[in-house]
């Protein structure tokens, strides 16, 4: 196995060097209640090179403006990365044609807009998807939890976004190494320790597994899925 790139090994704050990838499309409702129509949405995934922490943003469509809006939301909560890596459009062999076309047509515009924020944007070599294994693994983990949790459920934009943030918390709670050598200490180092200084622990919720869906509020529906 080859050596890891220097960006993966140099000590740095979370998301100082970031990888970006898209996932989707996913179907969501355009409104609550009856008579809704399904529309497509996408997930923009940001992964930290040093801690492997992930940040998930829900994107309404495949436009440059929508992606830049998600990127600025990411910057507002995680800080400016010094360098950002992403796939080359030609690497999307199995991706949808629309997603591939979006990356190929907007690569120059995206690069120029991001570099105006004093962020270096780099594409991995063409026809070398192995260079993007870090964010590919993040997309696979996100889809794994999303498919197990949501299944065929039809959610609105807000419900899907809420569920996505909870999946982000799950991914950032995965153990990396023990915190001590004490065999009775079961606490582990997680990516969330680098983000907020502690593990992400949620309060226990009521068990809503067997409650009929039509008796649940929007918030309870998300808790039931979770």
pLDDT at 139: 81
User: Is there a domain that residue 202 lies in?
Assistant: yes
Count of structural domains within the chain: 1
| pLDDT tens column, 111-160 | 666 666 667 777 776 666 667 677 778 888 888 877 777 767 778 888 88
Alpha-carbon gap, residue 158 to 153, rounded angstroms: 14
Residue pair 41/25 in contact by the 8 Å Cβ criterion: yes
Q: How many CB atoms lie within 10 A of CB 213?
A: 11
User: Is there a domain that residue 41 lies in?
Assistant: yes
pLDDT at 185: 74
Indicate yes or no: pTM above 0.75. Answer: no
User: Is there a domain that residue 77 lies in?
Assistant: yes
User: Which of 176, 145, 159 has the alpha carbon at shortest distance from 53?
Assistant: 176
pLDDT above 50: residue 94? no
**Structural domain of 202:** 6-225
Residue pair 16/22 in contact by the 8 Å Cβ criterion: no
pLDDT at 136: 78
pLDDT at 173: 86
Mean pLDDT (the chain, rounded): 75
pLDDT above 50: residue 96? no
Residue pair 131/125 in contact by the 8 Å Cβ criterion: yes
pLDDT interval class at 209 (50, 70, 90): low
User: Is there a domain that residue 1 lies in?
Assistant: no
Secondary structure (H, E, C), the chain: CCCCCHHHHCCCCCCCEEEEEEEEEEEEECCCCCCCCEEEEEEEEEEECCCCCEEEEEECCCCHHHHHHHHHHHHHHHCCCCEEEECCHHHCCCCCHHHHHHHHHHHHHHHHHHHCCCCEEEECCCCCHHHHHHHHHHHHHHHHHHHHHCCCCCCEHHHHHHHHHHHHHHHCCCCCEECCCCCCCCCEECHHHHHHCCCCCCCCCCCCCCCCHHHCCHHHHHHHHC
pLDDT at 55: 92
Q: What are phi and psi of 38, to 5 degrees?
A: -90, 140
User: Is there a domain that residue 196 lies in?
Assistant: yes
User: Is there a domain that residue 109 lies in?
Assistant: yes
User: Is there a domain that residue 78 lies in?
Assistant: yes
Kindly report the CATH number assigned to the domain that includes residue 108: 3.30.420.10
| pLDDT tens column, 5-64 | 777 777 788 888 888 888 878 888 877 767 778 888 888 889 988 888 899 998 888 777
> Over pLDDT 90: what percentage of the chain?
3
């Amino acid at each position: 196995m080859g050596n890891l790139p220097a960006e993966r090994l140099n000590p740095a704050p979370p998301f100082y060097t970031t990888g970006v990838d898209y996932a989707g499309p996913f179907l969501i409702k355009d409104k609550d209640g009856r008579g809704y129509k399904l529309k497509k949405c996408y997930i923009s995934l940001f992964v930290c090179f040093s801690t492997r922490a992930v940040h998930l943003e829900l994107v309404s469509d495949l436009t440059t403006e929508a992606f830049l809006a998600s990127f600025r939301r990411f910057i507002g909560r995680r800080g400016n990365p010094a360098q950002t890596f992403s796939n080359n459009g030609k690497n999307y062999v199995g991706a949808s044609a629309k997603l591939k076309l979006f990356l190929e047509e907007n690569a120059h515009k995206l690069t120029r807009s991001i570099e105006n924020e004093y962020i270096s944007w780099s594409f991995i070599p063409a026809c070398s998807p192995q260079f993007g294994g870090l964010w590919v693994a993040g997309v696979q983990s996100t889809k794994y939890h999303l498919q197990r949790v949501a299944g065929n459920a039809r959610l609105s934009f807000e419900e899907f976004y809420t569920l996505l943030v909870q999946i982000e918390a799950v991914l950032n709670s995965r153990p990396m190494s023990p915190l001590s050598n004490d065999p009775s200490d079961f606490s582990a180092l997680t990516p969330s320790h680098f983000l907020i200084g502690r593990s992400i622990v949620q309060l226990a919720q009521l068990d809503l597994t067997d409650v009929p869906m039509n008796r649940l509020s929007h918030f309870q529906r998300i808790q039931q899925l979770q």
